[in-house]
Amino acid sequence: MLQSGLLISCSEKSKLSFFNNLLVDIGDSQSIENALSTYSSRLLSMKQFLNVANGRTLFLIDEFGTGTDPELGGAIAEVILEELAKKQAIGIITTHYTNIKLLADNLKGVINASMLFNPETLEPKYELVLGQPGSSYTFEVAEKIGLPKEIIARAKDKVKSDKLKLNHLLADVQREKNKVTEQVQKLEEETLAAQKAEAKFRQQEVKLNEKLERNREKQEEINKLVELGRKMNALAEEWLKNSDKKAVIKKFVDSLTAEKHKKQFQLALEKKEQTKEKIIARVKKKIQVGGKVRLLKSHQTGIVQEIIKDKARVTFGNINSTVSLENLEPID
């Protein structure tokens, strides 16, 4: 369809190959006119496939090896699959033959796949799984449609035990695969729900911290006003009791001056801390483990062994010392 210029249903990020040969063997091509049986017609198709197949070939084969004795047809099918793999042709084969499934596990460039099947309801799930063959569910389907149990039991007796065990094993694997898939899906849903709950909790935590910060700032303002009110009350009482008004005024002025100096000192500390953080951030970008640094105060040089937050462990000669990054400068 793509090579004919037709739109196809796929993701916009899909990648498709261009092929020179498209080889298809689907359905029954027996011919009375040409005296061909089903298997003869299939062999002619396989002959053509082998003649033209190469790395630019796409082949599609349905019910590979059928139309003749299963063991003989399966053997020829194996050889044809090996030759197609040698030619590096790309294709899809459907089969119920156990020998083909076993070959696919050991043949380079070939991989098993199966369509998931619900073993309880015996209905297809329309999900493709790569890497493992599927069971044909022969006896399960027979039981589902109501074939007498006695006949099914007799049929099981006629089947080689190894093949029967393999079929049971494949059915068990697919059953376990279904359970695991359901558990994984449930776990993914629970993980998604937990992530949403965590995100909601983080939002609430951020809002709560912001509210606590606003309340803290309000409380600090209230405390300042209470302290100011207490001082003003004490000053008013002293103004009324003390006859030396100049001393009271001096005390008031000294109190305001001290408060002003306190604020200036606090602002200076904050500014120093901000400057320190900027210096550390700037130096941290330049200093690396194993690099040379100089101690600003003594001009000693050393090698950085480790950086931990805003400090560095530096070797000065034979001495290890932990130094704040603001006191170091890198040496080119």
Q: Report yes or no: 42 and 68 within 8 Å, Cβ to Cβ.
A: no
pLDDT of the residue at 13: 93
Q: What is the pLDDT of residue 92?
A: 94
Q: Which helix (H) or strand (E) holds 24?
A: strand 21-25
Q: What is the pLDDT of residue 169?
A: 63
Q: Report the candidate in 146, 150, 98 with the shortest Cα–Cα distance to residue 122.
A: 146
The answer to whether 167 and 135 are in contact (CB under 8 A) is yes
| Residue of 266, 270, 247 whose CA lies nearest to 258 | 266
Is residue 1 within 8 A of residue 37, CB to CB? The reply is no
Contact 152, 139 (CB under 8 A): yes
pLDDT score of 163: 57
Domains of the chain: 21-178 (3.40.50.300), 283-330 (2.30.30)
Distances (CA, A) of 99 to 21, 40, 60, 86, 303: 28, 21, 19, 19, 67
Look up the pTM and report it: 0.47
Residue 290 φ/ψ region, left for φ over 0, alpha for ψ in the -120 to 50 degree band, beta for the rest: left
Query: Which is nearest to 56 in space by CA: 92, 15, 89, 23?
Result: 89
Other Cβ atoms within 10 Å of 103 Cβ, number = 19
Continuous H helices in 117-160: 138-144, 149-158
Q: How many other β-carbons are positioned within 10 Å of the β-carbon of residue 293?
A: 24
Strands 311-316 and 301-308: antiparallel
Number of C-beta neighbours around residue 157 at 10 A: 9
Supply angle C-alpha 97, 103, 105, rounded to 5: 115
> Please, are residues 73 and 65 in contact by the beta-carbon 8 Å criterion?
yes
Q: Could you tell me the CA-to-CA distances from 192 to 6, 184, 187, 196, 199 in Å, in that order? A: 39, 12, 8, 6, 10
Question: pLDDT in tens for each of the 332 residues of the chain?
Answer: 888 999 999 999 999 888 999 999 987 766 666 556 777 888 888 899 999 999 999 999 998 877 777 778 888 889 999 999 999 999 999 988 888 888 888 899 999 998 887 767 778 888 888 888 877 777 778 888 888 888 888 887 777 665 555 666 666 677 777 778 888 888 888 888 888 888 888 888 888 888 888 888 888 888 877 877 787 787 777 777 777 777 777 777 777 787 777 777 778 877 877 777 777 777 777 778 888 888 877 778 888 888 887 888 888 888 888 888 877 888 86
